[in-house]
A and B are shown apart, each in its own frame.
Chain A
Amino acid sequence: MTDLAASRSTLYLSPGPSEAKVETAAAPLVVPRPQSLARPKRRVAGLRPGLILAGLFVALLALAAIAPGWLVSGDPFEASARDAFLAPSAQHWLGTDENGRDVLTRLVHGVRPSMLMGLAATVIGLGGGVAIGLTAGLGRRFFDGLLMRFVDVLLAFPDLLLALVIITFWGQGLLNAVVAVGVASIPRYARLVRSQTTKVRGATYVEAAVTLGIRRSTVIWRHVLPNAIKPVLILATIGVGGKIAAGASLSFLGFGAPPPAPEWGAMLAVGRNFLANAPWLVAAPALAITLTVISVTALGRELMRRSEGAGG
């Protein structure tokens, strides 16, 4: 019945001279709705509620990354043997760890390295990928083939394995972990940028610019690059979540930030040893990583959906 009413109001709303005609026809109006036609999705102002939650969570993360002191007052390094392994309570919302440090405080202070890791690794991956993809897409066929075969070989390895190989070369540390995760994602972006570039390179508007007598480098900078990387940029925002997870994995394995630093992956690694008697040590960072990855990815997907809807 609601369908019938909705459909009627749609018809009434139509502007122009047809309105009168529709009105007279409204009485015997029958609304056949073949089942194959999907129902229009119901949304509040075009947004799903899950998306709003994801947005709020990411906003909270951003706040935690910029000013962790606003959210928690304590010191993430302040140890006190007396308070070790306290279960979550009113005083310590997420409990304390083996050195009596407040888990929530450490979690909040751990946002910044995690976010930086995700963003910096994405920037490195994107930068390298755009450089290689653009060169391959615009260069000679032979050169293109050479670069892409190399990229294909790298693509055959899982990203994390590639990152581990890079770490074994350069040694551990937060910076190296970021670089490793970033470099490991270059092949993926390079492939994407290259396929976009070859598509845009042949576009009529690029040809139109060439016929105008515009310098080749200007045409690339002005038309090819922006149009080729637009879809890749959106994919990159989805990728940020994955990079955060990859960075945490490296820290978990002990290749990231050294122990006392509040870092989610490292917190997980330590918490694992006390899983039986203090499960909150693992639960809190694990939940934080999961929620972060889901929220960031959800926002990225929405971005992609919108850009596709806009026809670009």
Chain B
Amino acid sequence: MSQIPPLVEVENLQVAFRNGPQVVKGVSFSVNRGECLALIGESGSGKSVTSRTLVGLTGHGSRLAADRLRFGGEDLLGASERRWRSIRGGRVGFVMQDALGSLDPLRTVGDEVAETLKLHTDLTKAQRTARVIELLASVGVPEPEVRARQLPSQLSGGLRQRALIASAIACAPQLLIADEPTTALDAAVQAQVLRLLENLRTPDNAMLVVSHDFAVVSRLADRIAVMRHGEIVEQGTAEQILHDPRHPYTQGLLAAAASLHSTALRRPTTAPPRMAIGRTGLTSHVIEAKGLSKAFKGPDARKRTAVSDVSFDLRFGETLGLVGESGSGKTTATRLVLGLETPDAGVVRLRGRAWGELSEANRRIERKRIQVVFQDPLGSFDPRYTVERVLGEALDVAGYRPGARRRARAVELLEMVRLDESFLTRRPIELSGGQRQRVAIARALAPQPEVLVCDEPVSALDVSVQVQILDLLGELKERLGLACIFISHDLGVVRRVSDRIAVMKGGQIVESGPTAEVFGAPRHEYTRELLAAIPQLKTRAEALHA
């Protein structure tokens, strides 16, 4: 044991909300100066609540108990609000996941950062302004003088997260807590923010990182505590947890994460090529998109190009992965394919016939052939509907009238996605994220489509659930001979499912080809950048050696 007591000591911490069950059930850990501890776990594991107890912000109606809760040798049990305020911002910096929600939309970024300095230091106004610029520059915000005068909504996600970090470190806190600091960010930006957090470490301060992502945690943490259902199931050095996990739950999580980021390719589609009689004779392409362009009018009445001159095609039974960062035009491209938007130029052919050639009535009939699974599984259901009504509506389109036959078919669909009859009477809000996405898939399959468009179908889910959903999609595609357009910002996920890949940037396809080629020998610089930004499961020590 070292002579100096740890900076943070937590023993047997318990938190419950209102009269509900405990969400944190007897958690103990400590953080030493110069150390980074990571709390890792899936959603609902109690990791965020645990980290919030260290700033006295467990929330409305929470009840807290612990044998010991100490920070810098001070007992914080029963600390007054006044005392907490002196700790928050001054001695503990807190970086939250939602950078847009954590910054006041009506205040400039500079004012936001200056606020912390105003509360905890004696600097004059001029000194504060100078310090703000320094801080913004130190977290890698370009043109800090200009940015300091801008509103959060005028900054990109990465810059917002940096500004938030700047305000958290403004008073050189002894402890920096980062709750899912990179979850909302694109891969390349994520890598930059992680690098920034790494550079913020000094021998005197400590860091507590909360995340669901092993790749993020492995970059930063010296020690890792794995949480599940409000308890720490395993705690140890990063080395030990990542390479020699003892607890089966940790082993499962790691296996899921590893399989998502594995370099193994899926075996190519074995289904025999199918043909269909299109308007111009036989066609083997279920979708052909040629020269698609679309621009939207922004709030300032300037036109912004979302996609320009995008062309691709999709054979029956084939999976095309569409990769790119947010704002690269992936979603607009698929909305054009789905016929939800009309292109400014170019044409989309479904089995050889263009959407534009069809009358409204025929278009409705054709829509059945191409179905979609959205990113937000809850938002894609009418909040008033039960699962039975959700599926019923889709089956109605497929020609099933209300009755025993429709119900039987609904159960059959649920079984296809590994759910059972009991789900019929439930509402989507009562289901878990994975279950909701399964229902969404069942609905998409109801009209027996030929093409399934998956728009970031797993990015809102926990890692272990992601793997299950991806496996389910893969199996269903194979069994039903579905063609699939798979959109994701996560290259690991796309690699797992796609036959071919198209990389989008700034509204254009910069590279496309068979998955193995794009990953093995990327030709475009941007693809190489994306590949380099994939987080790896390496401990800090390993990364430093490499």
Contact = CB atoms under 8 A, between A and B. Distances in A.
Given A40-B61, A211-B371, A34 B81 contact: yes
Pick from A22, A39, A208 the residue with the most CB of B within 10 Å: A208
Interface stretch (B52-60, B111-119, B169-177, B319-327): B52-60
Contact of B65 (A29, A38, A209, A312): A29
Interface residues of B, number: 55
Interface in A18-65: 18, 21-22, 25, 28-40
Interface stretch (A7-15, A121-129, A232-240): A7-15
Contacts of A15: 21
A93 interface: no
Contact of B16 (A11, A210, A215): A11
Interface string A132-159: 0000000000000000000000000000
Contacts of A38: 60-61
A32 B67 CA distance: 11
A216 B355 CA distance: 17
A4 to B, nearest CB: 9
A33 B84 contact: no
Given A18-B26, A31-B64, A34-B79, A211 B372 contact: yes
B129 to A, nearest CB: 30
Interface in B37-81: 56-67, 69, 76-81
A204 interface: yes
A221 interface: no
A204 B429 contact: no
A283 interface: no
Contacts of B374: 204, 207-208
A311 interface: yes
Nearest to B23: A14
B233 to A, nearest CB: 12
B232 to A, nearest CB: 12
Contact of B59 (A7, A13, A37): A37
A227 interface: yes
Nearest to B57: A36
A226 interface: yes
B445 to A, nearest CB: 12
A10 B77 contact: no
A301 interface: no
Interface stretch (B375-383, B475-483, B518-526): B375-383
A211 B383 contact: no
B4 to A, nearest CB: 25
Contacts of B18: 40
B84 A36 contact: yes
Contacts of B81: 34-36
Nearest to A41: B61
Given A7-B63, A205-B379, A213 B22 contact: no
B376 A34 contact: no
Contacts of B340: 207, 210-211
A250 B64 CA distance: 56
B77 A214 contact: no
Given A14-B21, A204-B376, A212 B368 contact: yes
Contact of B25 (A21, A29, A34, A223): A21
A154 to B, nearest CB: 26
Contacts, number: 142
Contact of A31 (B65, B67, B393, B443): B65
A32 B383 contact: no
Interface in B325-346: 338, 340
Interface string B373-395: 01010011111100000000110
Contact of A213 (B56, B62, B79, B365): B365
Give the interface centre of A204, A213, A223 by most chain B CB atoms within 10 Å.
A213
B62 A215 contact: no
Contacts of A6: 63
A22 B443 CA distance: 44
User: Which of A14, A22, A32, A212 has the most chain B CB atoms closer than 10 A to its own CB?
Assistant: A212
Contact of B367 (A21, A31, A32, A211): A211
Interface in A262-312: 311-312
B230 interface: yes
A226 B384 CA distance: 9
A28 B77 CA distance: 12
A203 interface: yes
Contact of A37 (B60, B79, B231, B447): B60
B65 A208 contact: no
Nearest to A34: B56
Q: Which of B21, B65, B81, B368 has the most CB of A within 10 A?
A: B65
Nearest to B379: A204
Given A211-B367, A227-B384, A311-B429, A18 B231 contact: yes
B492 to A, nearest CB: 25
Interface of A: 6-7, 10-11, 13-16, 18, 21-22, 25, 28-40, 203-205, 207-215, 222-223, 226-227, 311-312
Which 8 residue pairs are nearest across A and B when measured between Cβ atoms? A213-B367, A32-B78, A18-B25, A35-B81, A32-B77, A204-B379, A204-B380, A213-B364
Interface of B: 12, 14, 16, 18-19, 21-22, 25-26, 56-67, 69, 76-81, 84, 230-231, 338, 340, 364-368, 370-372, 374, 376, 379-384, 393-394, 397, 429, 443, 447
25 contacts: A7-B16, A10-B16, A10-B22, A13-B19, A16-B21, A16-B25, A25-B65, A30-B65, A30-B66, A32-B69, A32-B77, A34-B56, A34-B64, A34-B79, A34-B84, A40-B19, A205-B380, A205-B381, A207-B380, A208-B374, A209-B382, A210-B340, A210-B367, A211-B370, A222-B393
Given A10-B19, A35-B80, 15 more contacts: A6-B63, A7-B16, A10-B16, A18-B26, A28-B67, A32-B66, A32-B78, A34-B58, A34-B79, A204-B380, A212-B371, A214-B397, A215-B364, A311-B429, A312-B384
